[in-house]
């Protein structure tokens, strides 16, 4: 054997100036609030490189497991694949990798010494955890003070278990703690300790990340009845007890995502009828469409354009809610400004009411401190520096930002950590938030030529089964589906770049490009929004004037040299293309066949004649080129181009008096385990025969 096969792990480690050519981000990365390198981790997932993938995810996203379950996935909304067939299921791929690897399966990235200042963080939710992680990575010693018995914030305490199993949150918390983050639970700042005391206890800075943990309500008649719940208290009780006692006819007031959580929880608690009443119509409702659809599947119905005015109580029991017609929710400037028709009032029967009209901040942490609140009762805060009116007391997350998602809270925490670092090291804060330009949408003519591959749906439990318990409502994709789904990524932004000082305008790139993308005038130019990163032009350019922005220059030759350097006995290199294959992990193939070492490529499209011959020059006894048949590779014409290159390499060997069968083309068939093994075994046998003959 030649030793461990080489994959993208080795490719990524090879130094190159090609990475400097990336001047634009793929829209998925641009759309992600933490700007995770989506394309890069999907490439690792596509090859079954789970640890490498989770390490890339966690470079910028502290709560990978949580976001794998509940993120609103703006990366998918921006995925260019949606203009071909359907967006890549990025969140589901993140979920698989994060939970598959667990806390121990992701690299802990912290400095050898964490001897910088101590920083106190008030609140152990997503923003606080993300900030603590970044500070620990920078060499600080962060301590989180959390008033509840567990860290994790709303995902750990209020998001229903059917959406967010508590053990999943704990994976993220445990991994963050492994970086030297101290978490002290059961301590309420403003009551057990004050902000001023923290600063006097050797903390150089304090970060407030308390979020919005209190429920908003309405001053309606009857709102103080025991059968009326505030949504955060209601959902927290599902975690810490006692379980709320709801009746058989529940009315949830509100139309947001938290309202959907409350309604679906009431269904699972045994209510016969659950309805949500809201000011908005179907198009205006703030809840995500999929939340509304899933709630509706479970039996929740909606009453639109109605606002409650009174909770009706008879004989000590709730019997209904009076609700007036809403004539408008937003004014001409799209600001929230509801108007009503008081002459149109209906009675909505119910025996339980849950207020889910929004959350607000608990500002009790300011007690005994110089931190100021503004005229609206919110924390005074400089958005440019993350500072409060006290220079070394900072704030992040929903205590100072609009209500948002977990991933947005993580980005706010990351930003605050950078601000604290600048303040403590330089005494001033200048946060640079400039971003690269993003690649435009894929032109329709180009999209039409891209191989169509159906998106793998997430397996959902039937609605009747979901109603009966708090088990997860959906299942994680299996490994085969994960590999196939990751291979749907079009690697946007990793395409070809012309080195204009080398280009001879010979038209070769235009002639070989299966998408017809290059434009040749005085030199060739390749538009990044059109290029599909196949690399055919790179392999065919006679002047070597085209490089890849995503793949390292010389990566194939470099990996070949590394593999041969540790080989013993017969040395056969197998270059295997296969991101289009769908039913197994690539690692292991080739290495299971004596004398054959495999280098895995997303496609053989970029494998040039010189790459093949270089392997022989470097000491290989033979070369196998494993290619998927026409129509199965992700790029058009790859099978044809690969065959021509192999034939050219064989002819060159003949011309210098060597056996042509030192280079063999292997048809990988359907890409299954058996087909790959059979193809490589047969090809290896041909090479062995040519050597001994």
Query: pLDDT tier at 592 (50, 70, 90 boundaries)?
Result: low
Residue 349 lies in a domain: yes
More confident residue, 9 or 605: 605
Same domain, 560 and 683: yes
What is the mean pLDDT of the segment spanning 538-560? 84
Residue 130 lies in a domain: yes
Same domain, 224 and 206: no
**Predicted pLDDT at 5:** 40
Which CATH number fits the domain that encloses residue 344? 3.50.50.60
Query: pLDDT tier at 693 (50, 70, 90 boundaries)?
Result: low
Residue 659 lies in a domain: yes
Query: pLDDT tier at 7 (50, 70, 90 boundaries)?
Result: very low
Q: Is the pLDDT of residue 607 over 50?
A: yes
Closest-CA residue to 603 (of 529, 681, 528, 550): 550
Q: Is the pLDDT of residue 337 over 90?
A: yes
Residue 365 lies in a domain: yes
Q: What φ, ψ does residue 629 adopt, rounded to 5°?
A: -70, 165
Residue 123 lies in a domain: yes
What's the CA gap between 629 and 646, in Å, rounded? 14
Residue 206 lies in a domain: yes
162-214 pLDDT, tens digit per residue, is 999 999 999 999 999 999 999 999 999 999 999 999 999 899 999 999 999 99
Beta carbons within 10 angstroms of residue 685's beta carbon: 12
- 3-class secondary structure, 683: helix
Query: pLDDT tier at 6 (50, 70, 90 boundaries)?
Result: very low
Average pLDDT, the chain: 91
Q: What angle do CA 287, 291, 292 make, to 5 degrees?
A: 75
Which CATH number fits the domain that encloses residue 615? 3.40.50
Same domain, 593 and 559: yes
Which of 426, 452, 475 is the C-terminal boundary of a domain?
426
Q: Is the pLDDT of residue 413 over 90?
A: yes
Q: Is the pLDDT of residue 9 over 60?
A: no
DSSP assignment of 107-130: -----S---S-EEEEE--SHHHHH
Q: Of 35-39, 338-342, 401-405, 601-605, give the lowest mean pLDDT range.
A: 601-605
What's the CA gap between 75 and 40, in Å, rounded? 13
Same domain, 69 and 154: no
What is the mean pLDDT of the segment spanning 299-305? 98
- Which tokens belong to 348? 């909505």
**Predicted pLDDT at 552:** 59
Residue 96 lies in a domain: yes
Query: pLDDT tier at 553 (50, 70, 90 boundaries)?
Result: low
CB environment 667-678: b (16+ within 10 A), e (fewer): ebeebeeebbee
Residue 300's domain spans which residues? 215-354
**Predicted pLDDT at 15:** 33
Q: Is the pLDDT of residue 671 over 80?
A: no
Q: Is the pLDDT of residue 12 over 50?
A: no
- Which tokens belong to 228? 């009326």
Q: Is the pLDDT of residue 233 over 90?
A: yes
Please report, rounded to a whole number, the percentage of residues in the chain having pLDDT higher than 90.
78
- Which tokens belong to 545? 């004037």
What is the mean pLDDT of the segment spanning 220-227? 96
Beta carbons within 10 angstroms of residue 427's beta carbon: 8
Residue 7 lies in a domain: no
DSSP assignment of 261-281: HHHHHHHHTT-SEEEEE-SS-
**Predicted pLDDT at 480:** 85
Closest-CA residue to 542 (of 606, 608, 636, 612): 608
Q: How far is CA 313 from CA 263, 274, 278, 303, in A?
A: 21, 19, 21, 21
> Domain total for the chain?
5
498 forms beta bridges with: 546
What is the mean pLDDT of the segment spanning 342-366? 96
């Amino acid at each position: 054997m030649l030793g461990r096969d080489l994959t993208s792990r080795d490719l990524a480690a090879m130094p190159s100036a090609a990475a400097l050519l990336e001047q634009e981000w793929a829209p998925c990365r641009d759309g992600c609030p933490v700007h995770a390198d989506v394309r890069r981790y999907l490439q690792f997932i596509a090859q079954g490189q789970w640890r490498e993938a989770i390490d890339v995810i966690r470079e910028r996203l502290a709560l990978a497991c949580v976001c794998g379950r509940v993120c609103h996935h703006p990366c998918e909304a921006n995925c260019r694949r949606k203009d071909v067939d359907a967006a890549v299921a990025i969140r589901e791929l993140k979920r698989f990798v994060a939970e598959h690897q667990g806390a121990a399966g992701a690299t802990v990235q912290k400095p050898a010494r964490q001897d910088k200042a101590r920083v106190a963080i008030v609140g152990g939710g997503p923003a606080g955890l993300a900030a603590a992680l970044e500070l620990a990575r920078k060499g600080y010693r962060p301590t989180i003070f959390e008033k509840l018995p567990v860290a994790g914030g709303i995902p750990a305490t209020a998001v229903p278990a059917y959406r967010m199993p508590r053990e999943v949150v704990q994976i993220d918390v445990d991994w963050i703690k492994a970086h030297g983050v101290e978490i002290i639970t059961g301590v309420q700042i403003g009551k057990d300790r004050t902000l001023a005391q923290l600063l006097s206890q050797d903390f150089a800075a304090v970060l407030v990340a308390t979020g919005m943990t209190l429920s908003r309500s309405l001053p309606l008649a009857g709102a103080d009845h025991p059968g009326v719940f505030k949504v955060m208290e209601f959902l927290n009780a599902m975690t810490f007890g006692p379980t709320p006692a709801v009746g058989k006819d529940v009315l949830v007031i509100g139309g947001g995502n938290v309202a959907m959580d409350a309604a679906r929880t009431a269904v699972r608690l045994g209510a016969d009828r659950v309805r949500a009443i809201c000011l908005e119509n179907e198009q205006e409702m703030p809840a995500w469409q999929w939340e509304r659809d899933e709630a509706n599947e479970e039996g929740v119905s909606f009453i639109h354009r109605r606002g409650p005015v009174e909770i009706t109580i008879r004989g000590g029991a709730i019997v209904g809610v009076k609700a007036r017609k809403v004539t408008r929710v937003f004014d001409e400037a799209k600001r929230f400004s509801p108007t009503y028709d008081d002459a149109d009032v209906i009675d909505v029967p119910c025996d339980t009411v849950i207020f889910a009209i929004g959350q607000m901040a608990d500002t009790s942490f300011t007690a005994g401190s110089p931190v100021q609140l503004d005229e609206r009762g919110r924390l005074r805060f400089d958005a440019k520096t993350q500072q409060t009116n006290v220079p070394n007391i900072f704030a992040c997350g929903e205590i100072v930002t609009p209500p948002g998602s977990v991933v947005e809270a993580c980005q706010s925490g990351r930003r605050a950590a950078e601000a604290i670092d600048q303040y403590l090291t330089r005494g001033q804060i200048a946060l640079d938030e400039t971003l690269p330009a993003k690649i435009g949408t894929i032109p329709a003519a180009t999209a039409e030529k891209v191989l169509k591959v159906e998106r793998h749906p997430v397996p959902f439990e039937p609605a009747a089964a979901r109603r009966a318990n708090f088990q997860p409502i959906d299942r994680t994709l299996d490994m085969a589906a994960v590999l196939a789904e990751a291979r749907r990524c079009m690697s946007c932004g990793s395409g070809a770049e012309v080195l204009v000082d080398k280009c001879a305008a010979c038209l070769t790139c235009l002639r070989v490009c299966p998408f017809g993308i290059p434009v040749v005038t005085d030199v060739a130019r390749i538009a990044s929004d059109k290029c599909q990163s196949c690399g055919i032009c790179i392999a065919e350019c006679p002047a070597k004037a085209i490089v890849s922005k995503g793949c390292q220059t010389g990566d194939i030759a470099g990996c070949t040299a590394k593999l041969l350097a540790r080989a013993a006995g017969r040395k056969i290199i197998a270059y295997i293309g296969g991101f289009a294959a769908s039913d197994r992990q690539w690692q292991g193939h080739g290495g299971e066949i004596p004398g054959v070492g495999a280098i895995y490529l997303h496609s053989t499209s970029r494998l040039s004649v010189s790459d093949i011959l270089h392997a022989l020059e470097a000491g290989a006894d033979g070369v196998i080129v494993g290619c998927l048949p026409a129509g199965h590779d992700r790029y058009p014409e790859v099978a044809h181009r690969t065959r021509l290159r192999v034939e050219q390499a064989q002819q060159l060997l003949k011309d210098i008096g060597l056996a042509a069968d030192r280079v063999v083309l292997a048809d990988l068939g359907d890409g299954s385990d058996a087909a790959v093994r059979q193809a490589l075994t047969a090809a290896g046998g041909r090479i062995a025969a040519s050597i001994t003959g």
